[in-house]
Amino acid sequence: MPATTLTDLFRQVRAARPDAPAVTDDTRTLSYRQLDEAADRLAARLRALGVGPGDLVGLGTGRTVDSPVAILAILRAGAAYVPLDPGYPADRLRMMVADARITALVGDPAHHHGLGADRVVDPRAALDGPHAGGPVVPASAGVGPHDPAYVIYTSGSTGRPKGCVVTHGNVLALLDAALPLFDVDSTDRWSLFHSISFDFSVWELWAAFATGATVVMVPGAAALSGEGLVEFLARERITVLSQVPSVFRSLAVAHRQAGRPPLALRYVVFGGESVDLDAAREFAGDAGPRMVNMYGITETTVHATFHELTPADRGSPIGRPLGHLNIELRADDGSPVPPGEPGELWLTGPGVSAGYLHRPDLTAARFPTVDGRRYYRSGDLARQAPDGRLEYLGRTDQQVKLRGFRIELGEIEAVLRAHPQVADAGVAVWTSPAGARFLVGCVAPAVPDDLRAYAGRTLPAHMVPSRYVPVPALPRTPSGKLDRAALAEVARPTVEKGQP
Q: Which residues pair with 444 in a beta bridge?
A: 424
Q: Is the CB of residue 177 less than 8 Å from the CB of residue 325? A: yes
pLDDT band at 278 (very low <50, low <70, confident <90, very high): confident
How confident is the model at residue 315, as a pLDDT?
85
How confident is the model at residue 414, as a pLDDT?
84
Residue among 403, 382, 383, 402 at smallest CA distance from 394: 382
Residue among 288, 285, 345 at smallest CA distance from 318: 345
Q: What is the pLDDT of residues 54-110, one digit of tens each?
A: 999 999 999 999 999 999 999 999 999 999 988 888 889 999 999 999 999 999 887
Among the residue ranges 69-73, 139-143, 293-297, 357-361, the one predicted with the least confidence is 139-143
How confident is the model at residue 394, as a pLDDT?
81
pLDDT band at 498 (very low <50, low <70, confident <90, very high): very low
| Range with top average pLDDT, 150-164, 187-201, 477-491 | 187-201
pTM of the model: 0.86
pLDDT band at 439 (very low <50, low <70, confident <90, very high): very high
Q: How far apart, in Å, do the first and last CA atoms of the chain sit?
A: 70
DSSP E strands in 124-198: the ranges are 148-154, 162-167, 189-192
How confident is the model at residue 314, as a pLDDT?
87
CA separation, residue 326 to residues 57, 176, 323 (Å):
32, 15, 8
The percentage of residues in the chain with a pLDDT greater than 90, rounded to a whole number, is 71
Write the DSSP assignment of 439-477 as a string of letters. EEEEEES---TTHHHHHHTTS-GGGS-SEEEE-SS--B-
Mean pLDDT, all residues of the chain: 91
Q: What is the pLDDT of residues 444-464, one digit of tens each?
A: 999 999 999 999 999 999 999
Q: What is the pLDDT of residues 195-219, one digit of tens each?
A: 999 999 999 999 999 999 999 999 9
Q: What is the pLDDT of residues 345-355, one digit of tens each?
A: 999 999 999 99
**Topology (CATH level 3) of domain 6-382:** Rossmann fold (3.40.50)
Residue among 174, 182, 202 at smallest CA distance from 322: 174
For 328-346, what is the mean pLDDT?
A: 94
Residue among 328, 273, 325, 320 at smallest CA distance from 301: 325
CA 52 to chain centre: 26
Cα–Cα–Cα angle for 215, 219, 223, nearest 5°? 100
Q: What is the pLDDT of residues 158-188, one digit of tens each?
A: 667 899 999 999 999 999 999 999 999 999 9
**How is domain 400-491 classified at the architecture level of CATH?**
2-Layer Sandwich (3.30)
Per-domain boundaries in the chain: 6-382, 400-491
Q: Is the CB of residue 169 less than 8 Å from the CB of residue 350? A: yes
CATH topology agreement for domains 6-382 and 400-491:
no
Higher pLDDT, 305 or 415: 305
State the pairing for strand pair 104-106/56-59.
Answer: parallel
How confident is the model at residue 249, as a pLDDT?
85
Q: Which residues pair with 429 in a beta bridge?
A: 439
